[in-house]
Structure 1
Amino acid sequence: MDPETILDIFNNDLFSSTSLTSAISIVPNSYGRIRELGIFAEEGVPTTSVAISRENDTLNLLPMRPRGGPASVGTRAGADARPFMIPHIPHDDAVLAVDVQNRVSLAPARGLQSVQDMVNKKLITIRNKHAITLEHMRAYALQGLIVDYDGTVVTNLFTEFGVTEKVVDFAFTTGTTDVLSVLRGVSGYMEDNLEGEVMTGLLALCSPEWMDQLLSHPTIKEAYKYYAKEQDPITQDLRRRFVYAGIVFEEYRGVATKLNEDGSKTSRRFIPANTARFVPLGTQDVFRTYFAPPDFVDAANVAPPTGQEQQVFVAPLERMKFGKGVEMHTESNPLPMVKRPKLLVKATMS
């Protein structure tokens, strides 16, 4: 198949922005326990920032409006509003001539299908990169931080909302520590600070070290033994989940690698060692992931559709100089937000 015919393939409607975005949306998102738990509700907004305000002990999202347009109405709208920029996460890749040549030469009669398969393979990798990036952002949002890929703190939610992070130390090395009493204290703190919100339970996302110390503590061993006896060890991983005192404890091993400027890679754990994070479950408006429109002209000021696990957009393929291949541009624009960071509790161990 000659080069011009190969490049003509990319003019097919299958490789339009709409088709590629639809294709990447149906790729299964296999990354993210936090996503699976459904802690963060998702909402598309037509702007690249959101403003969060507190009114009558209830946090409300204030929509930004175009100049000259109608304003939102409230008794004290904007009196205590805090603006937050929605992160823009672009990622580029490319389909080179050699990639296409190798695939098409194996099945000349299936030129279009072969190229489509190869592009879809790229999309799967790209989707997974965006997915694990969002999981990383959500994990740190549960720690009161909006962070970049390398852990750089973009926004400290405790500082922004003027609250002090609640830290509870579990003295696991002391055999007489009444762990149940400490846990009741955490639950009570959550309930006392709901301020008009509701919750149905508590979740603790635990580092492996913290989880091990919890399950091996003398005051917990017996309870865990009875809990494990009622579970099915064939179908359930008993290391990962334990329900006690109305709290669901889960061992969380989220980790990803960061590519450094020198080409080396650094692993980054989403829940730091020797810690756990307690968060309320069943709240109405505490946890939210906002998605901004992509940086495309035809999508400006249009709220992305809701109902998808993650919004990743793909631009039309761009032909490279000298016909060397085509460039792929993708992006996601998510902001995981915790509107009541006072409800986030950090657990340490000693």
Structure 2
Amino acid sequence: MRTKQAMELFTLEAMQKIIEQKKAIETPFLSKYFKTQIGHISPNVAIPIKKSENFILHAISKSASAVLSEDSEEILMKFEVPRFAQEGTINATDLNELKSFENGGDLPKALSQKIAEIITNHKENYVLTQEFMAVGAVFGRVVDGKGNVLFEVEVKNKAGFNAQKTLHNSFAEVYDSFSKNLGYHPEFDLYVSRELYEEIHNKATEEGLFKINQAKLEKSSMQIYGINIIPYVASYRNKSSKRDVQFLSGKTGMAIPNTQGIFQLHYSRAHHTQALNLSAQKFFAAKPEELAQGRGYCLHTESNVLPICVRPDALVKLEWA
């Protein structure tokens, strides 16, 4: 079998199977919180946001989404799902190496491995970008994956920590906030700045919680009264100010409920002619296209997604004051 004949085996359907079967890497936020996933044919989507007096939406970017309608229960907002595309090449050198398989029966297998290698790399890049966007959504921002903040949520639900208040009472404020806005106590984690992490650690030591086994240190976090407290120091590059901005700064943090329906991942159909008759998919891979002048084959992939928090009233801001 010649290389060109073998390449024809990789139809659109075959390519979709390859990209779908490649297991996505596990990520701390995307994998944990964004289990509700909704597909759309069009990249222009209308997403209802639960209305509440416990948060304020601030439009940051000129390209921010528009409010389509609003009532006492929800705000219907229009978003454009960001598009991410990559191209890989099986070049002339690769093809020459593959020719050694033409006289045997292993050419399709060798070609499949080469294609899978490129697609795996693409998929990992997509997932890492989506993780960055998911972090923004969890901490109250709608970001487009390129450092542009479209919307920022000013969370009014707050729980305070200070030297005079016991940690038990501070955690009770978090529980009360969840109970008020969700109607129940969900499992949750506290993501905090390094500064707040140190204050809570010192407070737990002062209260003797480590001695009575009500607090313990983990590899990169600590647990108090069964609640995970995780320091988070990552930042994003703000395109307008050209500065790195921490998601959590000062002595602040966020209590994040681990329950379905609060965070959603919206995805739309690929912007590619080969995708016209397909349903929306999180990851798309087109069949290989032959390049001119014997330069090889081009592999095009896409992933168009938007992670978003549709219940900002469920977030609880943490502050040391």
| Aligned 8 A contact 2:222 2:230 in 1 | yes
The residue number in structure 2 matching 1:18 is: 13
Instruction: Find the partner of 1:324 among 295, 304, 316.
Output: 295
Length-normalised TM-score, structure 2: 0.75
**1:105–1:255 Cα change, 3 Å:** farther
- Please identify which structure carries the higher strand content: 2
Shift of 1:125: 0.9
**1:290–1:150 Cα change, 3 Å:** closer
**1:331–1:219 Cα change, 3 Å:** same
Instruction: Find the partner of 1:182 among 170, 186, 189.
Output: 170
> C-alpha distance in 1, partners of 2:256/2:128?
21
| Aligned 8 A contact 2:186 2:259 in 1 | yes
33-42 or 317-326: bigger deviation: 33-42
**1:133–1:108 Cα change, 3 Å:** farther
- Residue pairs, 1:88-167, within 5 angstroms: 88-105=83-100, 109=104, 110-156=106-152, 158=153, 164-166=155-157
**1:349–1:107 Cα change, 3 Å:** farther
The residue number in structure 1 matching 2:76 is: 81
Q: Give the number of equivalent residue pairs.
A: 297
Shift of 1:120: 0.8
Establish whether residue 9 from structure 1 lines up as the match of residue 6 from structure 2: yes
Length-normalised TM-score, structure 1: 0.70
Any stretches of 5+ residues in structure 2 without a counterpart?
53-70
Instruction: Find the partner of 2:181 among 161, 170, 193.
Output: 193
Q: Which amino acid aligns with 2:3?
A: I
**1:303–1:278 Cα change, 3 Å:** farther
> C-alpha distance in 2, partners of 1:328/1:270?
35
**1:317–1:224 Cα change, 3 Å:** farther
Instruction: Find the partner of 1:281 among 258, 264, 273.
Output: 258
Percent identity over the alignment is 19
Any stretches of 5+ residues in structure 1 without a counterpart?
58-75, 230-236, 261-265, 306-310
The residue number in structure 2 matching 1:239 is: 219
> Considering only aligned residues, what root-mean-square deviation do their CA atoms show, in Å?
3.8
The residue number in structure 1 matching 2:56 is: none
The residue number in structure 1 matching 2:23 is: 28
**1:54–1:24 Cα change, 3 Å:** closer
